[in-house]
Amino acid sequence: MKKYYKIVLLLILGTSLQAQQELSERLMSHLNNFSKVNPSYFPQDGLMISLPSVGLSLMHTGPSFQDLYEKQSTGKYQIRGDQALEAFDSHNLFGGAFSADLLGVAFTKGENSFSLNYGMYANGSIDYTADAAKLLLKGNGEFVGQTLSIGPEISVNVYDKIGLGYARKFGDWSVGARMNFLFGRKSLSTQEHYVNLTTSSDYYALDLQTDYVLRSSDFLNIDSETNKVSLGEMTYKPGLGKNGKGYGLDFGFTYQVDKQLSIFSSVTNIGSILWKENTSIYSSQTHMVYEGVQIQSLANLDTASLSGMLDSIQQFVGLEESEGTFKTVLSPAFMGGGSLKISDKTTFNGVIVFNEIMGNFLPAVGLGVQRQLAPWAKVGGSLSYQNKRINHIGLNTTVKFGPVQMFMATDNILTFIAPRSSGTMHFRAGMSVMFGKVARQKTIYGLG
């Protein structure tokens, strides 16, 4: 079982993957899916039906696998020691995102466009400290006499979304907004996350101070007497989430500068969910000392030592359970960019994006190009700055057979070539069906 704990450690501390900053759709303005990131987008067809579009991402703003581990002559990987610990920031963000835009319909007539969309989304993030990384990688034995601030901040939301959108053209301007109705399925989040751990030289006595509040809706259950944790059912059920309800808003604008250039801006994913059903609130406000506990590095744990360590810690972590409602907020994204058509077959796109995740503003900048190879096929590439790195190379392709448009995209093809040094992992694919060209002045979205 020891290898499984190492796998978990690799996933948490050994990836440098940026997720919510996904740029592929923002750099493919010829796609009907572009309306997802800019509600002012006008489809080029009178009736457009969006079929499933699925995206999967992971992120870690801390060090990469290559920063943390070095390959030994035996072929095994070993933690770099103190050099690895220095690679962590004071706060590090780890998380993932899954989005499934399941069905959408857009109807455009003249200067007006109406849309209806449904999708399911899952987003999770953990903000952990460098001290928490020290404890995971080294245990507490090397930090005698030191106080480690280890309380992680957690945010996980799984919800359905129904969006009603409207866009209108005013000459060279187009503006659009989308009202989103949110239906919560599951949630896990912290309200307070203060946990300080001091190890004494006197038989590894642990001094623990906590002010920690964990809120759950159908995500997990903790027995307050034994601290035994059980997860809620994680299978997908058709229909809308019933544990929480909320509202959201997206809005944006586009300005047609001339026949070759347009600029646009949008703010998306503003909103919150109020969780009322199947809720539990677990709180720990304690200051206790426990003697004789040495927390081992996760890299060295096996089943028996992990069980013993948890049993010891559970004896002095006091948890109190209560019921009540709570609110979680979505992670908004702010985007600005433009599209420049330099020929009938070539278009350049550029965007600047700021994502707000758990109080952290994460910037990303991307430049992309789209080239039409045939009447039914387009290919594109991109270069982007994400996660303090500029080595993200993206590829995408779009094909259209009759009314059916299909696409695939990744923000960083290097993830699949050299994953240990990669800064981003992301993949998205989807399709739509379009009927009836709109009779109006040709715009320069994408390749026209």
With respect to residue 104, please indicate whether it lies within any of the assigned structural domains: yes
Longest dimension (CA), the chain: 81
Q: Give the pLDDT of residue 445.
A: 42
When pLDDT is averaged across residues 81-95 and rounded to a whole number, the result is 76
**Structural domain includes residue 290:** yes
- Residues 443, 363: Cα–Cα separation, whole Å: 29
Residue 363 pLDDT more than 90? Answer: no
Lowest mean pLDDT among 4-18, 106-120, 325-339: 4-18
Question: What pLDDT sits at residue 419?
Answer: 53
Q: Of 395 and 416, which is predicted with more confidence?
A: 395
Is the entire prediction scored with pTM above 0.85? no
Q: Of the ranges 97-111, 240-254, 415-429, which is most confident?
A: 240-254
Angle at Cα 252 formed by Cα 24 and Cα 40, nearest 5°? 80
- Taking only the tens place, the pLDDT of each residue in 290-334 is 665 556 555 554 445 544 554 555 455 567 888 889 999 998 999
pLDDT band at 1 (very low <50, low <70, confident <90, very high): very low
Least confident of 68-72, 120-124, 269-273: 68-72
315: domain CATH number? 2.40.160
The rounded percent of the chain whose pLDDT value lies above 70 is: 77
Out of 5-19, 180-194, 274-288, 330-344, least confident range: 5-19
HEC letters along the chain: CHHHHHHHHHHHHCCCCCCCCCCCHHHCCCCHHHHHCCCCCCCCEEEEEEEEEEEEEEEECCCCHHHHEEECCCCCEEECCHHHHCCCCCEEEEEEEEEEEEEEEEEEECCEEEEEEEEEEEEEEEEEEHHHHHHHHHCCHHHECCEEECCCEEEEEEEEEEEEEEEEEECCEEEEEEEEEEEEEEEEEEEEEEEEEEECCCCCCEEEEEEEEEEEECCEEECCCCCCEEECCCCCCCCCCCCEEEEEEEEEEEEECCCCEEEEEEEEEEEEEEECCCEEEEEEEEEEEECCCCCCCHHHCCHHHHHHHHHHHHCCCCCEEECCCEEEECCCEEEEEEEEECCCCEEEEEEEEEEEECCEEEEEEEEEEEEEEECCEEEEEEEEEECCEEEEEEEEEEEEECCEEEEEEECCCHHHHCHHHCCCEEEEEEEEEEEEECCCCCCCCCCC
Mean pLDDT lowest among 136-140, 158-162, 259-263, 402-406 = 136-140
Distance CA 289, CA 206 (A): 5
Inside any domain, residue 445: no
The listed range with the strongest mean pLDDT (105-119, 201-215, 385-399) is 105-119
Position 443 in a domain: no
Cα 215 to Cα 188: distance, rounded to the nearest angstrom = 6
Banded model confidence at residue 186, pLDDT cuts 50, 70, 90: very high
Is 447 contained in some domain? no
pLDDT digits (tens, 9 = 90+) for 134-184: 877 777 777 777 888 888 888 999 999 999 999 999 999 999 999 999 999
| Structural domain boundaries enclosing 73 | 2-437
The per-residue pLDDT for 137 is: 75
What number is the average pLDDT over the span 105-113? Answer: 90
The predicted pLDDT at position 448 comes to 34
Average pLDDT taken over every residue of the chain? 78
Say whether pLDDT at 9 is over 70.
no
Q: Which residue has the higher pLDDT, 228 or 182?
A: 182
Count structural domains, the chain.
1
Tokens read off for 125: 């993030």
Q: Is residue 155 part of a domain?
A: yes
Residue 53, domain member (yes or no): yes
Taking Cα atoms as reference points, which of 161, 203, 157, 335 lies closest to residue 263? 335
For the record, the structure tokens of 189 come out as 């989040």
For the stretch 264-278, pLDDT in tens is 999 999 999 999 999
Taking 90 as the threshold, does the pLDDT of residue 90 lie above it?
A: no
**Arithmetic mean of pLDDT, 193-205:** 77
Segment 198-227 shows an average pLDDT of 79
User: Considering the domain boundaries, does residue 446 fall inside one?
Assistant: no
Q: Which of 46-60, 228-242, 415-429, 430-444 has the lowest mean pLDDT?
A: 430-444
Average pLDDT over residues 7-21: 38
